[in-house]
Amino acid sequence: MTFSPPEADTLDLEDRLRAELARIADPDGRLPAERELAARFGVGRTRLRRALAALELDGLLFRRHGQGTFTMPPPVPGNGLKSLARSVTPADVMEVRMEVEPALAALAAERATPEDVRALRELMGGTLTAQTPECYEIADAIFHFRIAELARNPLFLRVYEQIRSVREQSDWAAWRADRMDAARIQELAHQHEALVDRISAHDSAGAAQMMERHLLSIAHGMRRRR
């Protein structure tokens, strides 16, 4: 009888999980509990946790204590922002993003490891290959959230999560979809690519400027319809 090393078993499980993520996740991106996942894939929980940790490092999963494991950035618990979301306009959101996200990009450029950059570049590829506004919005949300995580500042991350929560509770996605076509998706995705290049080069000032340019492009697009 031959035995595979634990690393090989974990890599095999990673591949199986990657192939199944979209199918087994709830509509909000939440994965089943570890016990259920371990039974589903016929593995022990220790092996499962190693594979989940590897996918989290790749930016494909988001794990939050007390909330679970998600394929999308997890919801902000008990944030009480519904009434605020009803009064906030897309222009309001963009004003705040313009203040916060260039700083996050600068910090990410300072603190991202080569492995972080590799995973971020893979996530950026999801925006390049998006075929519909809906697919782009999902890939875009994950990409920007990962940059916020790479800043490695928990207070900044909480601020960003509040912004994202307001966006999700408003009609932002439907409103943006009315202004998106294939050419526009490619334009924004290539801006993501340039942003990753700045982060990869540990160019904090350049990353902040590229993020600002990207957000200005979004703000300009808000003033036009297809």
The domain that holds 32 is classified in CATH as 1.10.10.10
Domain shared by 54 and 94, yes or no: no
**Which regions of the chain does DSSP assign to beta strands (E)?**
62-64, 68-70
Q: Judge whether 187 lies within some domain.
A: yes
Domain shared by 106 and 204, yes or no: yes
Taking a C-beta distance cutoff of 8 angstroms, is the pair 210, 191 a contact? yes
Domain shared by 87 and 151, yes or no: yes
Domain shared by 167 and 189, yes or no: yes
Contacts of residue 169, Cβ cutoff 8 Å, sequence gap at least 6:
81, 82, 85
- Backbone angles phi and psi of 47, in degrees to 5: -65, -40
Q: How many helices (H) and strands (E) does the chain have?
A: 11, 2
Taking a C-beta distance cutoff of 8 angstroms, is the pair 84, 20 a contact? no
Structural domain harbouring 96: 82-221
Domain shared by 113 and 47, yes or no: no
10-residue stretch averages of pLDDT, the chain, 226 residues long: 49 88 87 93 93 89 86 73 75 92 98 96 96 90 96 95 81 65 94 98 98 94 64
| Total length of the chain | 226
Q: Judge whether 182 lies within some domain.
A: yes
Q: Judge whether 45 lies within some domain.
A: yes
Q: How many domains does the chain have?
A: 2
Please give the pLDDT value at position 58: 85
Going by C-alpha positions, the residue among 10, 119, 4 that lies closest to residue 59 is 119
Please give the pLDDT value at position 224: 61
- Backbone angles phi and psi of 69, in degrees to 5: -115, 135
Domain shared by 58 and 141, yes or no: no
Domain shared by 111 and 182, yes or no: yes
Taking a C-beta distance cutoff of 8 angstroms, is the pair 73, 62 a contact? yes
- Backbone angles phi and psi of 68, in degrees to 5: 125, -160
Domain shared by 141 and 108, yes or no: yes
What is the signed CA dihedral for 79, 84, 89, 95, rounded to 10 degrees?
A: -60
What is the value of pTM for the model shown? 0.80
Domain shared by 13 and 102, yes or no: no
Domain shared by 206 and 107, yes or no: yes
Q: What is the CATH number of the domain that holds 161?
A: 1.20.120.530
Taking a C-beta distance cutoff of 8 angstroms, is the pair 137, 73 a contact? no
Give the residue carrying structure tokens 């600002």: 212
Please give the pLDDT value at position 38: 93
Q: Judge whether 161 lies within some domain.
A: yes
Q: Judge whether 76 lies within some domain.
A: no
Taking a C-beta distance cutoff of 8 angstroms, is the pair 186, 128 a contact? yes
